[in-house]
Amino acid sequence: MTDRYAVFGNPIAHSKSPQIHTAFAQQTEQDLSYEALLAPVDAFSESFNEFLQRQGKGANITVPFKQDAYERAESLTPRAQRAGAVNTLWQDEQGVVHGDTTDGVGLVRDLTQNQQLDLKGKRILILGAGGAVRGVIEPILAEQPAQLVIANRTVSKAEQLAELFADFGAISSCGFADLAGQQFDVVVNGTAASLAGDLPPLPDDLLAEGAACYDMMYSKEITVFNQWALDHGAVKAIDGLGMLVEQAAESFNIWRGVQPKTDQVMAQLREALNQS
């Protein structure tokens, strides 16, 4: 019997997840189906429960339901508990619903394996302090950077994250204005601002020599943040397409117990994006 999986979101028509997981299933010879499901913004739990009643095995969760998924899960992995958000759900044979977050693993794998960046001993800056950032802090600190700074427009939100993850490594917080005079080896944009053509106020000398920049967002055209990075001397300006595929691969491995290869899937998505 074909196992059923899905991604929940609102909106959801744009999701690349069905394409990604179908490709993973073909590659690893797994008998499964994967679909995109639109859930009402105020009825995620009801939609997910109906999915389970119709033999659903597991699901990915995207905006705006990661907090709802966190609350729906009956068992959480330590990294999901710390992040306060879930993007991967599955039900075990006893009927228990488990929750995990794979976003951070996806980002770090893209940086370290696909982009060949060594994060150990590096000065790393993350812009933003929202849900997208919460899930990536612990995996980044596990790479033992010299420092990790969270900068946000609302400083109190950055401070809360720094306090929450302080036991994992050298992490601090600041406002965008406080970045003057500081330099970083890796800068990650965790805000959605660049897709809207906006950018946090960043000093011109923010990037150290040989710095790499990473935008969690992706689009057909270069994002505003990555264009800023190239204009200010970054040797690499990477978008979030690799993170999307790598976090999906981690979810797939959790569900199926097999780790799919990601390079060909990424290449296919990039080609399709360029042709769209």
Percent of the chain with pLDDT over 90: 92
95: left (phi over 0), alpha (psi -120 to 50) or beta: left
Asked whether residue 276 carries a pLDDT value surpassing 90, the answer given is no
For 165-224, what is each residue's pLDDT tens digit?
Answer: 999 999 999 999 999 999 999 999 999 887 788 899 999 999 999 999 999 999 899 999
Q: How far is CA 226 from the centre of its chain?
A: 17
The one catalytic residue in 66, 157, 220, 236 is: 66
pLDDT for 194: 75
Q: Which residue has the tokens 């992706």?
A: 218
Band of pLDDT at residue 1, cut at 50, 70 and 90: confident
Rounded Cα distance between 268 and 276, Å, is 12
For 207-244, what is each residue's pLDDT tens digit?
Answer: 999 999 999 999 899 999 999 999 999 999 999 999 99
Maximum CA pair distance of the chain?
A: 60
Which among 184, 191, 194 is positioned nearest to 228, based on CA atoms? 194
Question: Is position 220 annotated as part of the catalytic site?
Answer: no
For 86-112, what is each residue's pLDDT tens digit?
Answer: 999 999 999 999 999 999 999 999 999
Contact 87, 251 (CB under 8 A): yes
Sorted by where each starts, the structural domains of the chain and their CATH numbers stand as 3-101 (3.40.50.10860), 104-241 (3.40.50.720)
pLDDT for 193: 83
